[in-house]
């Protein structure tokens, strides 16, 4: 695949240099040539554990050109989570920087070979093998994106070449991107939403500006410095951005805001509209298993601020009643997504694939395999969708999908906990925060147990997975089925009636 933007136009704006589309195509050719030589096995998995560097940005296209499967790993993850992804994916190579590689412990690499990012570029440039665009099967596997489920370890969602490219085409079209746009890419490239920022920009001939930031102030400075026209974010970041003072005229430069990873709410929509008067606001809903499902046309945001909107191009989005029939207007049902954006299932996990990926309802227009999301929605008389709730126990904090099971496993591994339940408690800034309810493995001590537990978990988990608070119980509540009463604890901690 050759990127079709003006060869001299800016395609990738890095901190220290700017790559034109001509540069981008040349660099992808050299990187893919080295990959083909270094990993000759077609379909082998190549993992990256990087910040938003040049190699991280180019790898989705370079790996695809080389006939390999890219496995991007969130740079916030620590060695235990990285080790799981490497072992589960069967990655042959892990490309990272020296500092991250130094944190890995014996056995973490599984069968992968660790390669320093700088060494990879040096080898690619020295070899000088430029791989021409290849005719890959659109249905062939191109990437595995790992996402957390409500139980167990992260699972790999298998994405085809067609999934990735049609996702880019779809988003670029409904956002009406042009070659004059400059997209500030602040989201992690290990997320489908983050990766798509690059692909849809390049499809449209626009420039992508990858940014690793620490604070909202960093984002504001970048919008100003790079004259960004488009910004994608999740609700916690939007909240931070509207609470900051912006330099005069900078907020007015943005022409397009896109949101996913949680609902904005009517109040936040109002604040965004006031702060960014010239920007079209696109609320969206997505799930990794189908990339993106819906968006709300900016013209409807003021009148329908809580709606998810309608299906994006190439997607058929349905509401299935509990009996499998099509839900009536206003009736709550399960969101079902069909069409060419549907992923190929979970990597090496036939059981979970069969649970989530099932034939589309008989009344589907497109038919074929569909994603049965588990999310509850309703459709109004105008055809607009509204989110009702999640069927599973996933915790969503600061735009991150967090498995309660992973948090609970980490608590157990400290030796301080005999039983535990991790629940998400509503939070105005983060969406949810993690509260751990636990039964201690020994008698009460001098009151420092919570601090010791959280410190131990902080050493094993990324910061966004560490509980905000711990409640200790002498006995854990059980539901009618004899299992720990997660739903009851969640209601109790949220202050809701039993």
Across the 498 residues of the chain, what is the mean pLDDT of every consecutive 10-residue run?
79 96 96 96 97 97 97 93 96 97 96 97 93 89 85 85 96 97 95 94 97 95 98 90 93 95 83 95 94 96 93 98 95 96 97 96 97 94 89 80 85 88 90 93 72 94 94 82 74 75
Contact by Cβ (8 Å): 343, 371:
yes
**pLDDT score recorded for residue 498:** 56
Burial 225-239 (b: 16+ CB within 10 A, else e): ebebbbbbbbbbbbb
Contact by Cβ (8 Å): 473, 436:
no
**pLDDT score recorded for residue 447:** 62
**pLDDT score recorded for residue 394:** 78
Instruction: Give a three-class secondary structure readout of the chain.
Output: CCCCCCCCCEEEECCCCEEEHHHHHHHHHHHHHHHHHHCCCCCCEEEEECCCCHHHHHHHHHHHHCCCEEEECCCCCCHHHHHHHHHHHCCCEEEECHHHHCCCCCCCCCCCEEEEHHHHHHHHHHHCCCCCCCCCCCCCEEEEEEECCCCCCCEEEEEEHHHHHHHHHHHHHHCCCCCCCEEEECCCCCCHHHHHHHHHHHHCCCEEEECCCCCHHHHHHHHHHHCCCEEEECHHHHHHHHHCCCCCCCHHHCCEEEECCCCCCHHHHHHHHHHCCCCEEEEEECCCCCCCCEECCHHHCCCCCCCCEEECCCCEEEEECCCCCECCCCCCEEEEEECCCCCCCECCCHHHHHHHEEECCCCCCCCCEEEEEEEEEEECCCCCEEEEEECCCCEEECCEEECHHHHHHHHHHCCCEEEEEEEEEEECCCEEEEEEEEEECCCCCCCCHHHHHHHHHHHHCCHHHCCCEEEECCCCCECCCCCECHHHHHHHHCCCCC
Residues contacting residue 171 through CB under 8 Å, at least 6 positions apart: 177, 196, 200, 292, 312
**pLDDT score recorded for residue 323:** 93
**pLDDT score recorded for residue 152:** 63
Complete domains list, the chain, with CATH: 395-493 (3.30.300.30)
**pLDDT score recorded for residue 2:** 58
**pLDDT score recorded for residue 448:** 84
Contact by Cβ (8 Å): 262, 396:
yes
**pLDDT score recorded for residue 307:** 94
Query: Tokens representing 460?
Result: 């094993």
**pLDDT score recorded for residue 405:** 79
The model's pTM is: 0.87
- Through-space distance between the first and last CA atoms of the chain, rounded to whole angstroms: 56
How far is it, in rounded angstroms, from Cα 256 to Cα 228? Answer: 9
**pLDDT score recorded for residue 11:** 97
């Amino acid at each position: 695949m050759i990127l079709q933007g003006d060869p001299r136009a800016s395609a990738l704006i890095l901190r220290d240099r700017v790559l034109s589309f001509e540069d981008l195509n040349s660099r992808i050719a050299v990187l893919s040539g080295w990959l083909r030589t270094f990993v000759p096995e077609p379909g082998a998995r190549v993992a990256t554990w990087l910040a938003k560097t040049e190699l991280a940005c180019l790898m989705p296209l370079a790996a695809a050109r080389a006939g390999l499967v890219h496995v991007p790993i969130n740079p916030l993850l620590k060695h235990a989570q990285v080790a799981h992804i490497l072992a589960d994916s069967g990655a042959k190579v892990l490309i990272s920087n020296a500092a991250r590689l130094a944190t890995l412990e014996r056995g973490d690499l599984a069968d992968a070979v660790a390669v320093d990012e700088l060494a990879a570029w040096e080898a690619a440039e020295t070899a000088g093998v430029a791989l021409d665009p290849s005719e890959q099967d659109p249905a062939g596997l191109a990437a595995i994106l790992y996402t957390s489920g409500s139980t167990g370890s992260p699972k790999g969602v298998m994405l085809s070449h067609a999934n990735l490219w049609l996702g880019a085409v779809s988003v670029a079209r409904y956002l009406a991107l042009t070659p004059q746009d400059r997209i500030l890419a602040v989201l992690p490239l290990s997320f489908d939403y983050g990766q798509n920022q690059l692909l849809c920009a390049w499809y449209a001939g626009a420039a992508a500006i990858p940014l690793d930031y620490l604070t909202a102030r960093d984002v504001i400075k970048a919008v100003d410095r790079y004259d960004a026209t488009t910004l994608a974010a999740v609700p916690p970041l939007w909240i931070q951005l509207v609470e900051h003072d912006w330099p005069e005229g900078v907020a007015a430069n943005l022409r397009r805001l896109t949101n996913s990873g949680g609902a904005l709410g009517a109040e936040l929509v109002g604040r965004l509209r006031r702060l960014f008067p010239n920007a079209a606001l696109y609320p969206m809903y997505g799930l990794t298993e189908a990339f993106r499902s819906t968006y709300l046309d900016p013209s409807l945001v003021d009148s329908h601020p809580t709606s998810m909107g309608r299906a994006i191009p190439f997607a058929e989005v349905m509401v299935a009643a509990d009996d499998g029939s099509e839900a009536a207007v206003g009736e709550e049902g399960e969101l079902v997504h069909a069409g060419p954006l549907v992923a190929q299932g979970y990597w090496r996990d036939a059981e979970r694939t069969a649970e989530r990926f099932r034939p589309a309802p008989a009344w589907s227009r497109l038919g074929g395999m569909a994603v049965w999301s588990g999310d509850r929605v309703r459709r109004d008389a105008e055809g607009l969708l509204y989110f009702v709730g999640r069927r599973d126990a996933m915790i969503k904090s600061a735009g991150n999908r967090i498995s309660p099971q992973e948090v609970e496993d980490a608590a157990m591994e400290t030796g301080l906990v005999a039983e535990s339940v991790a629940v998400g408690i509503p939070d105005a800034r983060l969406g949810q925060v993690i509260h751990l309810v636990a039964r201690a493995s020994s008698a009460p001590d001098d009151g420092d147990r919570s601090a010791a537990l959280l410190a131990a978990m902080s050493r094993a988990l990324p910061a966004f997975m560490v509980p905000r608070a711990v409640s200790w119980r002498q006995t854990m509540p059980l539901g009618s089925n004899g299992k720990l009463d997660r739903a009851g604890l969640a209601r109790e901690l949220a202050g809701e009636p039993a």
